[in-house]
Structure 1
Amino acid sequence: MRILCVEDDEMLGDALQSGLTQGGYLTDWVREGELALEAFHANPYEAVILDLNLPGVSGLEVLRSLRKSSAVPVIIMTARDGLQDRIVGLDLGADDYIVKPFALEELLARLRAVQRRSHGRAHPVIALKDIELDTAARAVRKSGVWIRMRAREYQILELLMQRIGRVVSKSEIENQVYSWDADIESNTIETTIYALRKKLGKDLITTLRGIGYVIKP
């Protein structure tokens, strides 16, 4: 899933981008509030991780602007003495907050939680027939047997499973799974869908020519 990380501290921002990427998220990192708004309106994000103390446009101003047009999950980051900022942030529409310093594992868990809530789910496992996708473990089972997945295979499968019954276009898959500067060949997604069908069954994913892909309920 593609997320936006807004953090002006270069060392922390670089560490967050690296850790979130290793956690399976396509992560765009910007350092300023104004750039965050530009990036958000130019790209489809599944969640935003937002520092409050930003140069220029503050994190609270960014949050206020986002909430005028979007319900995207937002996790705010703040210092220990920022109680009032946390209260204001939650009242402005933030979905959660995390206090600096924090462990990457906690941030990943909070990110998974707000994503589940945004999709109307309380449990990390998405099940359909004999397929189970565990978003916490980033693992897939078919008929109780663990299936080995490449990173891109898992990411595309999770995107489709999160949207069971909804058609997902090729461009949406590209935007959610591949970075700004990725060199995507014309048949990259088709090749990955083919691999998923071989592993999980040819009828799991339906192709709608010229429209996209769907996993039917």
Structure 2
Amino acid sequence: MRILLVEDDLLLGQALETGIQQFGYTVDWVTSGESALEALDLVPFSAVALDINLPDLSGFRVLKQVRRTSKVPVVIMTARDALDDRIEGLDLGADDYIVKPFDLKELLARMRAVVRRSHGRAEARLTHRDIELDSSARTVKKAGEWVRLTGREYQILALLMERTGRILSRSDIETRIYAWDNDTESNTVEAAIYTLRKKLGRDLVTNVRGVGYVIQP
């Protein structure tokens, strides 16, 4: 899951960025509404954590513009707990909201929930044959046995399982799991898929030559 964090408070933003990364998610942090809109034009983020009080455009204006062209899940972060503010955010198209101060675990749980709903799922578990992935616990089992994956392997597996039957190119995968400041080697995705096959089965991921990778239904 690649998250766009929109927060102008530098101390809070840095703390959230570090915490989100420590939980194994990819995050890009911007501090203004204009920067958020520019980022969303360039990257297919899984979800957005959007502050309301921004120095240029308010979070409400950002959300309104985003909803003209995108269905990306948005969780509003706000210090305002007035009912009217919450209603306005939801009416403008926010998928959820959270009131500051909040626990990072709750924010991430809310973000996982809105992402699941965007994929038409209610549960945190994904299954494919004898493989079970729990997105809330970030665990994987094969035939009931725990399988240890690296963070990158887990992200790629989750991405492909969420899109079973859809071919994703290497570029698609890189865009969805690497932040702007990550330097990626040319064979990083291929190496991770190779080890996934070793750990979970050679026929798990199909390489469509010259196109990309897919988990067949």
Q: TM-score range by the shorter chain?
A: over 0.9
Q: Matched residues, percent identical?
A: 63
CA-to-aligned-CA distance 1:64-89 (integer Å, 9 cap, x gap): 00000000000001114333221111
Distance in 1 (alpha carbons) for counterparts of 2:59 and 2:93 = 12
Q: CA deviation at 1:181?
A: 2.5
CA RMSD, 1 decimal: 0.9
TM-score (norm 2): 0.98
Q: Which runs of 5+ in 1 are unaligned?
A: none
Q: CA deviation at 1:152?
A: 0.5
TM-score (norm 1): 0.98
Which consecutive aligned stretches of 4+ in structure 1 deviate over 4 angstroms post-superposition? none
Distance in 2 (alpha carbons) for counterparts of 1:61 and 1:163 = 31
**Residue 118 (1) aligns with residue 118 (2):** yes
Superposed counterparts of 1:100-139, under 5 Å: 100-139=100-139
CA-to-aligned-CA distance 1:44-96 (integer Å, 9 cap, x gap): 10100000111111100000000000000000011143332211110010000
What's 2:2 paired with? Answer: 2
Q: CA deviation at 1:131?
A: 0.3
What's 1:144 paired with? Answer: 144
| Counterpart residue type for residue 45 of structure 1 | F
**Residue 24 (1) aligns with residue 24 (2):** yes
Number of aligned residue pairs: give it. Answer: 217
| Counterpart residue type for residue 77 of structure 2 | M
Q: SS where residue 172 of structure 2 aligns?
A: helix
Superposed counterparts of 1:49-198, under 5 Å: 49-198=49-198
| Counterpart residue type for residue 71 of structure 1 | K
Tell me: CA distance 1:92–1:197, structure 2 relative to 1, closer, same or farther (3 Å).
Answer: same
| Counterpart residue type for residue 53 of structure 1 | N
Distance in 2 (alpha carbons) for counterparts of 1:15 and 1:181 = 17
Q: CA deviation at 1:174?
A: 0.6
CA-to-aligned-CA distance 1:132-164 (integer Å, 9 cap, x gap): 000001010000000011110001001001101
Q: SS where residue 27 of structure 1 aligns?
A: strand
